[in-house]
Amino acid sequence: MPVFILGPAAPSSVALPFFSFCVPAGFPSPAQDHMEATLSLDELMEIRAPHTYLARADGLSMIGVGIYDRDIMVIDRARTPEPGHIVIAALNGEPLVKIFDREGSMVLLRSANKAFPPRYLLESEELQIWGVVTYSIRTHGRY
């Protein structure tokens, strides 16, 4: 799945109201009485500028982990990738998002969609890890 780099994430000084209860997906309940504090999206998504940047997913190869076409991903470039982490990588200069893995001494990039086969790295190929995806953001409609 290719990615489009949107740019670095800057710290925000905006704290949003945080409600301590889970919102029912059925009959609504008055929420104002349950507001306990404010919450910063920077804290929630562990945004550590300048180590954090945003990118937009392009395609369907990561739907098995909940990353869909056009989702925005929050990427921490200071984290060291471990097997099983979702990473933004450049394979021979082409940016993509995949699950980083190893089989013995071989590096493997997996998709999270069975329609896309795993990608084993060849000795002649160049792989750069640009960061670990920590969160994704999805729009649920255009308003």
Residues recognised as catalytic: 61, 98
Q: Which two tokens stand for residue 38?
A: 């404010």
HSE-CB for 56 with a 13 A CA cutoff: 7
Q: Which of 102, 103, 72, 99 is nearest to 88 (CA)?
A: 99
Chain length of the chain: 143
3-class DSSP state of 130: strand
Q: Distance between CA atoms of 109 and 98, rounded to whole angstroms?
A: 6
